[in-house]
Structure 1
């Protein structure tokens, strides 16, 4: 019964190749989580399981590019200190090498209906998607890889907009606790982790991004070599900055207690 209720967030026309969001159902979902989102610690966020229709999530996983696919940037030529063995596409130019179905899923997550859902949920209005998927789109972390705790860059110079919301959808079936890869949410003072989220299949995490939204997965993945941590990553912007903070910041890497800088 709960499964059917979650599935009604989407149109009856959904297949593994094409899907659209059901606006009224997503609006109800936003209303359900709105208060909890605003009150969540250490910063506004929500975790929603089974976010995509099963057929869509399964198709995304089936067509998710393997680590040796040409669309990935070479992690060895990037930041190997804070994000070793983390694969990304950099921008939409490389996304063109992904399957049409996978591209469609990402484009739908940038749609008007998704934006209205996010605005209702977060109470941040005037949201604008990033059609270039700068720094987002597809992420994949190899065994032994990690993503150090950080707060995100807050301004896209191409769009000339301020970054406000992150949406992550994990695509990891049969993920075991001992694999690690938890998304960790830390307090602004970096004294302790407030919440750890296991990156299980079709789990969606939505959160405000600002100078104090410290997050990452700082412990190296403890997976067999053929198992990776896969996710869709979407960022949403607005003309106005967060609470009048007009300063422009790059990614701010943080240090945990007892960790070397």
Structure 2
């Protein structure tokens, strides 16, 4: 990867966020008692954002996750894809960007994740979805708390009617969600903790919603009540059967993690870099 190009992109990201710092901090503070979040549009120059979409991998080059929980395509093995995507992804991990976002969210110890544990690229095609869920509370080694989710959307002309939008459930997954549209060249940042339920509604068109994602971790949880938990899914409010199945699924996986701290198998979703 050309680290100098990644640093140049990080400067663009930093300058755009810095320009909007006051209003972004206000947005986060206004929502942080439930699920802190903010978003910023026109993050990168339009030509650069469009190029990210143009070089995004086909779904055949990504891992398909299809179950009652979710239906989407993901990849963290960045050296298999166009170099620009890796440059942009790691631009969000430069210390200036991480520290600025930490200041906006008032998080003192904040770390990017070079291994891309559960991060990287995601693509949601026609009929794909992600049910309401809580993210796993920790990193792969259970040493740091997962505290922020960064989602950068690069699909041009993505409109409300397309679906595939981020949903936040500040009053729990039985109430109404707040919809954050997956607009082109938008960066959305949300807090992750033990009540930060979120989802992606179903894609309704024969196109793909493409996203470059990062997680940030911290030495401390965002809430004093936070405890270790595995990723926990629910169905939508009207889907009683799915809720029953996914509750059993989450309880079983949590029981396994109590017995085996690092799980029975290692999560394959991380960047296996060549030495």
TM-score range, shorter chain: 0.7 to 0.9
- By how many angstroms is 1:164 displaced? 0.5
- By how many angstroms is 1:62 displaced? 1.5
1:247 aligns with 2:227: yes
How far, CA to CA, are the matches of 2:161 and 2:237 in structure 1?
22
Aligned length: 236
CA RMSD in angstroms comes to 2.3
The alignment's TM-score, normalised by the length of structure 2, stands at 0.78
Per residue, is there more helix in 1 or in 2? 2
How far, CA to CA, are the matches of 1:253 and 1:169 in structure 2?
23
The alignment's TM-score, normalised by the length of structure 1, stands at 0.82
Query: Given that residues 16 and 59 in structure 1 are in contact (C-alpha distance below 8 angstroms), is that contact kept between their aligned partners in structure 2?
Result: no
1:30 aligns with 2:21: yes
Query: Given that residues 132 and 197 in structure 2 are in contact (C-alpha distance below 8 angstroms), is that contact kept between their aligned partners in structure 1?
Result: yes
Matches within 5 A, 1:211-222: 211-218=194-201, 220-222=202-204
* 1:57–1:17 distance in 2 versus 1, CA, 3 Å: farther
Match of 1:20 among 5, 10, 14: 10
- By how many angstroms is 1:107 displaced? 1.0
Structure 1 residue ranges without an equivalent (≥5): 1-13
Match of 1:175 in 2: 158
How far, CA to CA, are the matches of 2:106 and 2:164 in structure 1?
29
How far, CA to CA, are the matches of 2:8 and 2:19 in structure 1?
23
1:105 aligns with 2:88: yes
4+ aligned runs moved over 4 Å, structure 1: 14-18, 22-25
* 1:52–1:46 distance in 2 versus 1, CA, 3 Å: same
Structure 2 residue ranges without an equivalent (≥5): 243-275
Match of 2:105 among 122, 137, 151: 122
How far, CA to CA, are the matches of 1:181 and 1:157 in structure 2?
27
1:223 aligns with 2:215: no
How far, CA to CA, are the matches of 1:148 and 1:25 in structure 2?
32
How far, CA to CA, are the matches of 2:205 and 2:222 in structure 1?
37
- By how many angstroms is 1:242 displaced? 2.3
Match of 1:156 in 2: 139
Query: Given that residues 184 and 193 in structure 1 are in contact (C-alpha distance below 8 angstroms), is that contact kept between their aligned partners in structure 2?
Result: no
How far, CA to CA, are the matches of 2:6 and 2:114 in structure 1?
22
